Amino acid sequence: MGNCGRIGHLPTSPTNHELLTQRLDELRRVPVVPVSLRPKVKFRTNPPVDRPFDETDEDEPTELASGETSPADAVAVNDFGLKLFQKVRGDTTGNFTFSPASASSMLALAFPGAANETEAALLQLLAPDLDRTAAIERLSRWRRGLVASRPPIGATDTSGGNSGLRSKFARQSASRLLLANRIWTDTMCPTEPDWAATMKEQFASEIGQFDFGDVDGAVKEINDWGRKATRGRIPEIVDKEFLKTRGVFDGRTAFLLASALSLRAEWDSPFEKHKTVRANFHAPGLLQKVEMMHQLNQSSYAHLDGFKALEMSLGSGRWSMLFLLPDRKDANLDDLERQISLEFLAKVEKESERREVRIFLPRFRIESTLELTNALESLGIGPALSLRDADFSRMTNAPVYIDKVRQKTFLNVDEIGMEVAVATLGGAGFGGGFRDPNLEFRADHPFVYLLRDRSSGTIVMIGRFVGPDE
């Protein structure tokens, strides 16, 4: 089998190998790929780049082709993403941001390479109502729709206030989502042709070979790709430590699966910078100062039991940010976070209506590095993480397992709009409204936010802001 680094080696008897090969032949057309995200990396983020939202980047990763999709394609993905959020949030304190879409995209890359119990575990998370073939088709369609979907032709621009600062066409054109995939395999580790074809045809993922024994060269190539894929927001996605594994060979990486998502979008009703002022923010246990933006605007609004919900649109209605703000400044944000589910969000949407609201929202920027391995294991993908039980025989005839999953995220919200960058890596080694001037949404204490793609229904990002990092 040779030395293939990122996947833990499992002693495999000739009999077991023959059975595995036979089973692989029977299930050849069933795509299931193990995702191994394991950047033992310390990520850093470069300084902000001041440039217009509609500036075009050169040499950006290729976007997926346009495809038909529907909100139904995102239901199972969102359900998985919110369940993973519930596991991850408990391990975090302070500000953090998490991308369910990027995590789902990474597992979708791994899914077509898995078999037997490993396949079943991933299928249960990503598409529990479908068989393997239908699940691959749905995940591929969902990914295409996330990139290509647009608001319906003739859709009404429902933003109010000062939305005339930029035309609807200009705002929509400036709102660009890139979802890029890349897979690197070690020169010593052969891949299965059917898996490679599925990656390229269904998931627009290029596969390249690299000598992971040249660690410095591997780090440079991967980080160059990550920098371009995230528009420079995450310039370092791996380091030498990340390319080490628990394998019984020489600790070399065998496979590296990467999924990067980036988005810039303008508010349909931008905040005016001259109205932004220094203001108090009631962070847990202390009073801080923030740059508080302000506007009077028609937005989707609801006041439910113990919290307010405000949804603001971006990119001429394609995107939206939903803010959930407790009524009490000293409320425990955990009480609100634990309620978040598909049913909870459906209730918020049902209770919301367009109202004219005086909005106070702080400028904020959040960078997070999240370890997802334990959270994924608690959701049931244990076989994929096991040196002994993992079966990714549709990807390679080498015994491999998911070693580590890590996600790096970047979010910036200001008067113009918001910018998002996410990189998730997998490393495998052997082994309508009416006026109400008194209605106010003042986010001067901790809140939860969600970024959603209204066209596909996907939850792109979710997180919390508890105060500026000082």
The predicted structure's pLDDT at residue 19: 42
CB 448 within 8 A of CB 412: no
Q: Domains plus CATH for the chain?
A: 5-49+98-153+174-265+367-430 (3.30.497.10), 273-365+434-465 (2.30.39.10)
What are the angstrom distances between the C-alpha of 379 and each of 146, 307, 315, 384, 389?
24, 29, 34, 12, 16
Other Cβ atoms less than 10 A from the Cβ of 154: the count is 5
What is the distance between the alpha carbons of residues 16 and 238, in angstroms, rounded to a whole number?
35
CA distance 55 to 57: 7
Q: Which two tokens stand for residue 38?
A: 């394991």
Q: Rounded CA gap, 256 and 133, in Å?
A: 24
Radius of gyration of the chain (CA): 22
Q: What pLDDT score was predicted for residue 263?
A: 86
Q: Can you tell me the distance from the alpha carbon of 28 to that of 25, in angstroms, rounded to the nearest whole number? A: 5
Q: How confident is the prediction along the chain (470 residues), in pLDDT tens digits per residue?
A: 333 333 333 333 344 344 434 443 443 333 333 333 332 222 222 333 333 333 334 344 434 334 456 667 889 899 999 999 999 998 888 999 999 999 999 899 999 999 999 999 999 999 999 999 999 999 999 988 887 645 433 333 434 444 444 444 444 445 667 777 888 888 777 889 999 999 999 998 888 887 888 888 888 888 898 888 888 888 888 878 777 654 434 556 677 778 888 888 899 999 999 999 999 999 999 999 999 999 999 999 999 999 999 999 999 888 999 999 999 999 999 999 999 999 999 999 999 999 999 999 999 999 888 889 899 999 999 998 887 888 999 998 877 788 778 888 889 999 899 888 888 877 665 554 445 557 999 999 999 999 999 888 899 999 999 999 86
Given phi > 0 = left and psi -120 to 50 = alpha, else beta, which region is 231?
A: left
Give me the pLDDT at residue 85, please.
96
Helix pair angle (116-126, 71-89), 10° resolution? 100
CA 284 to chain centre: 27
**Pairing status of strand 400-413 against strand 417-430:** antiparallel
Q: Tell me which residue has tokens 């983020």.
A: 45
| Element at 265 (helix H, strand E) | strand 255-266
**pTM of the predicted model as reported, rounded to 2 decimal places:** 0.79
The C-alpha angle 263, 459, 415, rounded to 5 degrees, equals 45
CA pair distance 229, 232, nearest whole angstrom: 8
**DSSP assignments along 240-261, one per residue:** TGGG----SSS--B-EEEEEEE
pLDDT at 226: 85
Residue 39 CA to residue 239 CA, distance in Å, equals 7
